[in-house]
A = this chain, B = another copy of it.
């Protein structure tokens, strides 16, 4: 198989990935990346490794279930590593991988865009609703 691996990789790399296409795998990846909890988790970890409980505290309102689920997905996709320290009680640390680091600028950009432009959006919304009410 070693002889075809390199060729296959090239083939794969040459392929034109396009999220506009329904069946393209990037459409699925786009779904993962466009997720509220993903953006927040990546933002938290951009400051360095964090424990499960630290992340939970930082992201107000996230449920146990969603946090664990999000962390698992991100681990599977290679964005972060999960390190278990077998103490009592157990300690689990999450840390961004190099791939995860590359995601940081994109994710923090969305978050800060929202924070920066919130006022303008709020105004637009009020105007729209006022116009719709007429």
Mark A residues whose CB is within 8 Å of B: 9, 12-13, 17-23, 25-27, 29-31, 33-36, 38-40, 43-44, 58-61, 75-79, 99, 102-103, 105-106, 109-111, 113-125, 127-129
Judge whether A76 and B125 touch: CB under 8 Å: yes
**Chain B nearest CB: distance from A117 CB in Å?**
7
The oligomer's copy count stands at 2
State the main secondary structure of chain A at its contact with B. helix
Judge whether B29 and A36 touch: CB under 8 Å: no
> What is the CA–CA distance of A21 and B22 in the complex, to the nearest angstrom?
34
Judge whether A125 and B78 touch: CB under 8 Å: yes
**Chain B nearest CB: distance from A1 CB in Å?**
14
